């Protein structure tokens, strides 16, 4: 699979130049014929699982308790990938993307309470 | 003209970044205990830093990627997490050291104990990052940092024995107190070759929108800026060698260093030392906190920039907020600032392999550097630095136990 080395761990950027995490994982579907990448995954739990499955479970538990309480990572279908270069450009809305769920939660519940934000 | 100004400011910035609690304290300890004999550690540290800073600037200018981005892409997420944990822990200790440095300077100026200053200092660093822009951190603090030239003036006024100083620039074995000699040497190297400096520099290149047209400037800024910083460090060592060594003064507290500049500069010497220590440490604290936030954000792919409002980079801003708050704790608890400095500098030296070794691969990768990959000279220098970093990792912990007590 040539693609794994070309996409994994790259920066995900949307069409507005907003950062949507790194490609932490890939969903590969083995259908008829050769296996193919169907989705990109991004989220701390995915990266944690790559280091050790127990660390992944721990990260997911942490996410259930803190923040928005939902540990599912953002999955971007391959059809939404515009181009793969130095970064991976995707068609995704930063306002709703799960890649920014933590960011939004921290902004609403922490940063907005600190003067001068 | 604009480029000229940028070069000048870049050099000033590098000076501001170079001299901080660690380099002042370790150079002074070295000079007080061993005269000019440890000058070589500053020379080697400065050359190594020039090489690393030039490379991180070149990587950023040509590829548009910081070192952190490149490490994550080339070596994968799990390796990045290892680098983040190691550099993050060391940066935490160094940040605590710098906060202690500013607090000590304020304590010397006011008489109020160091620990009482920890929270106000941490708060001031945080406010600068929370409200300020990258330019304010980069230029504002470092322009003030020019006060550290007082060390150079002091050294020259004392008329050092140049021939003896020249001999000190060549590494040699210690005359006595071998464990302490090598421990101070390792601390000086750790204080000079700070990962946060080249990590910060590569992020700064992206913040300032560098491209390939900046390569010449990058070489100049890295070489002149770090040389200037190294000369100031050496000046601290020289003054300490002339002021403290003849009396056999053993440096056990920062407060003793307050007299460092009194023989050459009189009453002003004490004030200039306090101002230099306070400002240099304050600038370094801001840079370290920012460098750690950059590294986390870049490695995890979050929005990052010191030029956006905290609300637009919530995770980025909260990382430095948390780090600064935690770094104030040991100072509030009254941990000895000089001991903290020595431990942090030795651990910095031990942490170098995780950031230096990846550069061996990255700087030869045409995907990042196109036609600007390392020359044989650059690779030779980098291999030597990598070997040095491994030696430092191996010896830092045993030396800490043997000579760390000073």
* DSSP string of B105-166, one letter each residue: HHHHHH-S-HHHHHHHHHHHHHHHHHH--HHIIIIIHHHHGGGGHHHHHHHHHT---HHHHH
Task: For residue A19, give the chain B residue with the closest CA.
Answer: B303
Estimate to the nearest angstrom the gap between the alpha carbon of B241 and the chain centroid.
Answer: 22
Rounded distance between C-alpha atoms, residue B85 and residue B168, angstroms? 36
Name the residue facing A117 among B73, B299, B311 (closest C-beta). B311
Rounded distance between C-alpha atoms, residue B126 and residue B120, angstroms? 10
Phi, psi of A89 (to 5 degrees): -95, 130
CA angle B152, B155, B158 (to 5 degrees): 150
Contact present, A58 and A48 (Cβ < 8 Å): yes
Instruction: Name the pLDDT band for A70 (thresholds 50, 70, 90).
Output: confident
Q: Does B304 touch chain A (CB under 8 A)?
A: yes
C-alpha Rg value of chain A to the nearest Å: 16
Contact present, B356 and B113 (Cβ < 8 Å): no
Task: For residue B131, give the chain A residue with the closest CA.
Answer: A116
Helix/strand/coil for B373: coil
Residues of B in contact with A117 (CB under 8 A): 130, 309-311, 317
Instruction: Mark yes or no for CB contact B301/A116 under 8 Å.
Output: no
Is a pLDDT exceeding 70 seen at residue A82? yes
User: What pLDDT digit, counting tens, does each position of B19-75 carry?
Assistant: 889 999 999 999 999 999 999 999 999 999 999 999 999 999 999 999 999 999 999
Q: Does B301 touch chain A (CB under 8 A)?
A: yes
At B403 the pLDDT is: 67
**Cβ count within 10 A of residue B268:** 13
Instruction: Mark yes or no for CB contact A103/B77 under 8 Å.
Output: no
Helix/strand/coil for B77: helix
Place of tokens 């997490």: B81
At A116 the pLDDT is: 86
Name the residue facing B301 among A19, A50, A117 (closest C-beta). A19
Task: For residue A21, give the chain B residue with the closest CA.
Answer: B301
Place of tokens 């080339």: B74
- How far is the alpha carbon of B76 from chain A, nearest alpha carbon, in Å? 6
Name the residue facing A50 among B64, B73, B77 (closest C-beta). B77
CB pairs under 8 A between A and B: 71
Contacts of A1 (CB under 8 A, 6+ apart): A28, A35, A37
Contacts of B11 (CB under 8 A, 6+ apart): B220, B221, B224, B225, B228
ipTM of the predicted structure? 0.93
Contact present, B292 and B320 (Cβ < 8 Å): yes
Token representation of residue B395: 């010896």
Average per-residue pLDDT in chain B?
Answer: 92
Convert B171-195 to b/e letters by CB count within 10 Å (16 or more is b).
eeebeeeebbbbbbbbbbbbbbbbb
Q: Which residues of chain B have pLDDT under 50?
A: 406
C-alpha Rg value of chain B to the nearest Å: 20
Contact present, B9 and B137 (Cβ < 8 Å): no
Task: For residue A13, give the chain B residue with the closest CA.
Answer: B301
Contacts of B155 (CB under 8 A, 6+ apart): B234, B235, B236, B238, B239, B242, B264
- Please report, for residues A85, B80, B199, B215, B363, the alpha-carbon distance to residue B367 in angstroms, rounded to integers and kept in the order given: 11, 19, 20, 17, 10
Got the DSSP string for B211-250? -GGGHHHHHHIIIIIHHHHHHHHHHHHHHHHHHTGGGT--
B5: buried, middle or exposed (CB in 10 Å: 19+, 13-18, 0-12)? exposed
Instruction: Mark yes or no for CB contact B77/A106 under 8 Å.
Output: no
- How far is the alpha carbon of A33 from chain B, nearest alpha carbon, in Å? 28
- How far is the alpha carbon of B52 from chain A, nearest alpha carbon, in Å? 23
Task: For residue A88, give the chain B residue with the closest CA.
Answer: B301
Instruction: Mark yes or no for CB contact A110/B318 under 8 Å.
Output: yes
- How far is the alpha carbon of B68 from chain A, nearest alpha carbon, in Å? 12
Rounded distance between C-alpha atoms, residue B103 and residue B101, angstroms? 5
Percent with pLDDT over 70 in chain A: 97
Contact present, B238 and B151 (Cβ < 8 Å): no
At B271 the pLDDT is: 95
At A2 the pLDDT is: 55
Rounded distance between C-alpha atoms, residue B354 and residue B389, angstroms? 9
């Amino acid at each position: 699979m040539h693609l794994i080395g070309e996409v994994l761990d790259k920066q995900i950027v949307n069409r507005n130049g907003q950062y949507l995490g790194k490609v932490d994982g890939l969903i590969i579907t083995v259908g008829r014929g050769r296996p193919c990448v169907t989705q990109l995954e991004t989220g701390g739990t995915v990266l944690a699982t790559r280091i050790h499955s127990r660390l992944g479970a721990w990260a997911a538990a942490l996410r259930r308790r803190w923040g928005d309480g939902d540990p599912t990572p953002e999955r971007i279908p391959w059809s939404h990938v515009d181009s793969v270069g130095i970064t991976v450009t995707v068609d995704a809305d930063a306002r709703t993307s799960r890649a920014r769920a933590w960011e939004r939660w921290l902004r609403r519940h922490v940063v907005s309470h600190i003067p001068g934000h | 003209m604009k480029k000229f100004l940028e070069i000048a400011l870049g050099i000033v910035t590098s000076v501001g970044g170079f001299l901080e609690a660690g380099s002042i304290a370790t150079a002074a300890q070295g000079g007080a205990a061993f005269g000019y004999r440890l000058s070589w550690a500053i020379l080697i540290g400065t050359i190594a830093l020039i090489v690393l800073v030039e490379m991180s600037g070149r990587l950023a200018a040509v590829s548009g990627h910081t070192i952190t981005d490149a490490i994550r892409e080339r070596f994968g997420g799990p390796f990045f997490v290892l680098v983040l944990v190691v550099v993050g822990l060391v940066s935490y200790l160094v940040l605590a050291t710098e906060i202690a440095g500013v607090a000590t300077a304020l304590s010397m100026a006011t008489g109020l104990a160091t620990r009482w200053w920890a929270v106000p200092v941490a708060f001031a660093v945080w406010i600068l990052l929370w409200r300020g822009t990258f330019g304010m951190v980069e230029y504002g603090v470092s322009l003030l940092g020019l006060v550290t030239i007082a060390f150079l003036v002091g050294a020259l006024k004392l008329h050092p024995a140049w021939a003896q100083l020249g001999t000190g620039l060549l590494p040699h074995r210690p005359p006595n107190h071998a464990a302490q000699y090598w421990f101070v040497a390792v601390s000086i190297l750790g204080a000079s070759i700070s990962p946060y400096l080249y990590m910060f520099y590569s992020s700064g290149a992206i913040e300032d929108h560098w491209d390939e047209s900046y390569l010449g400037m990058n070489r100049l800024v890295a070489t002149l800026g770090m040389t200037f910083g190294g000369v100031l460090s050496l000046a601290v060592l020289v003054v300490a060698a002339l002021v403290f060594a003849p009396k056999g003064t053993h440096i056990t507290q920062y407060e003793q260093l307050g007299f460092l500049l009194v023989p050459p500069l009189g009453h002003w010497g004490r004030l200039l030392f306090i101002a230099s220590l306070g400002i240099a440490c304050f600038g370094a604290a801001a840079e370290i906190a920012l460098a750690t936030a950059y590294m986390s954000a870049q490695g995890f792919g979050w929005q990052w920039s010191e030029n956006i409002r905290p609300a637009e980079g919530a995770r980025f801003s909260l990382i430095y907020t948390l780090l600064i708050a935690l770094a104030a704790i040991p100072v509030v608890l009254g941990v000895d600032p000089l001991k903290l400095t020595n431990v942090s500098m030795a651990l910095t030296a031990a942490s170098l392999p995780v950031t230096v070794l990846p550069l061996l691969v990255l700087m030869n990768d045409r995907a990042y550097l196109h036609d600007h990959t390392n020359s044989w000279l650059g690779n030779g220098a980098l291999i030597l630095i990598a070997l040095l970093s491994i030696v430092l990792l191996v010896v830092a912990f045993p030396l800490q136990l043997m000579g760390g007590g000073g």
